[in-house]
Amino acid sequence: MRTAIIEDEPLALKRIERIIQQHRPAWEIAFRAQSVRELQTFFKKEQKIDLMLCDIHLADGLSFKAFKDTNPSFPIIFITAYDEYALRSFEHNCVDYILKPIDEKRMIQSFEKLESLNGSQVQPQMNSEFFEQMLHNYQVKPYKKRFLSKIGKRVKFIPVEEISYFYSEGGVTYLVEKEGSKKYLIDHSLQELEEGMLDPMKFHRINRSTIIHLDGLVEMKPYINGRLLLSMTAVSDTKIVVARERVNEFKNWINQ
């Protein structure tokens, strides 16, 4: 099966390639692109493929733009960090979607779904009107994908997916990695992070000094004075506690 991968995040691209190589070794990765412009060039050349895995949010805009004047005959697995419209808009189309961070089992399920449809009478119901509607509906917010931290003369890049939580101490903000529990100083206040840099579906402020990543949460349990004590993937020297006045809001957030 000739496959195209449209993905602008190097780590995500490597993960997709690894999953294909391990679980579908006979598949050929025939084309890779990182931008809407490259995808548009692909369509102009009319290259033949059997499957496309396509990130919705690329560096230069929404991938839907490249599909506007096309009627793709191949199945597409869309990849997105935002599921608000994916669930609603893909429900009646013969495509699948995968939410970031990419889960290996979920991607294999998508492969199996497409293989079960192969040779059936069911055809993708995607045309230029579908993609025009998606462009109209899908509002991508400019959330940060990675943070930078200066370490001497070096600059460390930390992808958002690898962050367990942020905290502020003495007027300085740090992020803590999920793996290894290393902390890095960043040039943003918690207020700046909360008010537009972080996806509120994935990050939540639990008290005055801490913002946690949902994917970094391991467990929670009752704590004194009506608060909640959290365990995170990263080890902390201090207790990570949800303030009493934020408990109800926090519970609603994790149950979204």
Per-residue pLDDT reduced to its tens digit, 100-123: 778 899 999 999 988 887 755 445
Residue 66 has pLDDT above 50, yes or no: yes
Q: What is the pLDDT of residues 178-224, one digit of tens each?
A: 988 899 999 999 999 988 789 888 899 999 999 999 999 999 999 99
- Give the angle subtended at the CA of 133 by the CAs of 41 and 97, to the nearest 5°: 70
Q: What is the share, in percent, of the chain residues with pLDDT greater than 70?
A: 85
Least confident stretch, 47-56, 137-146, 155-164? 137-146
pLDDT of 166 over the 50 cut:
yes
Q: How far is CA 121 from the centre of its chain?
A: 32
Q: What domains, with CATH codes, occur in the chain?
A: 2-137 (3.40.50.2300), 146-254 (2.40.50.40)
Other Cβ atoms within 10 Å of 98 Cβ, number = 20
Q: Is 50 exceeded by the pLDDT of residue 92?
A: no
Judge whether 68 and 87 are in contact, CB under 8 Å.
no
**Mean pLDDT over the full length of the chain:** 85
At 236, is the pLDDT very low, low, confident or very high (cuts 50, 70, 90)?
confident
Q: According to the per-residue pLDDT averaged within each range, which of 53-67, 69-83, 88-102, 219-233 is highest? A: 219-233
Token pair of 135 as six digits? 């462009």
